Amino acid sequence: MKLDPDLKLVILEKVGIYSERFSISEPKVLFTQKEVLDAPREITEGRRTTAYKYYGVAYFYQKTIFLNVKRIPDEKVLENTIVHELIHMRFPYLGHGKRFNKLVRQGLRGKRFLAYQKRK
């Protein structure tokens, strides 16, 4: 896909909507590999120079996601990638697998996740 101001706005709107549904704060969004490389190293540590290989990357401790729009082929994959990365933000302890994929599917279908409740 080609990143233009209209697409950027659509993406930020979707990130906002899904972040609210998942009860997480809206992450900062990086759109290009250049933005990843220009970001402070402590933000993109671990997936700094390999991020270009993926549709998206979640840097959950820094509340930042990278959406590799240039590599994403269409809007359906874009939406899936947004939800995928935000599920990483919502459930940072959960790796890829059946449970993770189920949560992504539920997120795409509109499921809301309640905020974590602090135990007393």
- The pTM for the full model equals 0.91
Q: Between the CA of residue 65 and those of 7, 89, 118, 120, what are the distances in Å?
A: 16, 9, 25, 32
Q: What is the pLDDT of residues 49-108, one digit of tens each?
A: 788 889 999 998 889 999 999 999 999 999 999 999 999 999 988 999 999 999 999 999
Give residue 7's identity as a one-letter amino acid code. Answer: L
Q: What is the pLDDT of residues 25-37, one digit of tens each?
A: 999 999 999 999 9
Reading the block at residue 116, the tokens are: 């974590």
State the Cα–Cα distance between residues 99 and 93, nearest whole angstrom.
12
Domains of the chain: 5-108 (3.30.2010.10)
